[in-house]
A and B are shown apart, each in its own frame.
Chain A
Amino acid sequence: KQEVTQIPAALSVPEGENLVLNCSFTDSAIYNLQWFRQDPGKGLTSLLLIQSSQREQTSGRLNASLDKSSGRSTLYIAASQPGDSATYLCAVRRRSGGGADGLTFGKGTHLIIQP
């Protein structure tokens, strides 16, 4: 059974710092890994999608890496801003037969960027 763990559960840093959020998963048989952002009371916004054959993806100040063999991904946020404050979720899309195709989510990292 796939399990996804995100560390730390919460993080508070001053504005301008670079930071790293960690995600680990137990089963390396995945199609892809996706990082999302969730603002309080809102839905999920997709940030980055990394296919299983890829090592990293970049979008603006965000960079996500994937090491499938070790079951790890990191989300790097450069020059953090107060608007980055949100919960960041990591999810893996499992590879399986019989049509099963759901995402397995971690519980998220609650990030606060102090002005």
Chain B
Amino acid sequence: NAGVMQNPRHLVRRRGQEARLRCSPMKGHSHVYWYRQLPEEGLKFMVYLQKENIIDESGMPKERFSAEFPKEGPSILRIQQVVRGDSAAYFCASSPQGPANYGYTFGSGTRLTVV
């Protein structure tokens, strides 16, 4: 039973390019969460999705960032026109349906470097 799979592990983008980060939840998990970890900062919640629905995006920057979790395929976190300040580790987590009593399982993260 594979865990939460994130790819790529490392991503380098030039300023102004687009970054696409992918997350496949654990088998049987229908809830996906994205977190960002800036250097020397704690992990910050970005967005919570279920299949085809964004449930809570209160942690997402208002511009350039978007997320989706389509009916088929992985969840995608998309960052348009990246800037140096977007350099961070982006982690995806998943949990089963009816999440209140369950913990989260995290992926290994995607480390984005903007040059």
Residues of A within 8 A of B (CB): 4, 31-32, 34, 36, 41-46, 49, 51, 89, 91, 93, 98-108
Contact = CB atoms under 8 A, between A and B. Distances in A.
B46 to A, nearest CB: 8
Given A43-B91, A43-B109, A101 B99 contact: yes
B51 to A, nearest CB: 14
Contact of A107 (B6, B42, B103): B42
Interface residues of B, number: 28
Interface of B: 6, 31, 33, 35, 41-45, 48, 55-56, 58-59, 91, 93, 99-109, 111
A90 B16 CA distance: 35
| Best-buried of A41, A44, A93 by chain B (most CB within 10 Å) | A44
Given A31-B100, A46-B106, A102 B45 contact: yes
Given A32-B101, A51-B101, A106-B42, A101 B48 contact: yes
Contacts of A42: 108-109
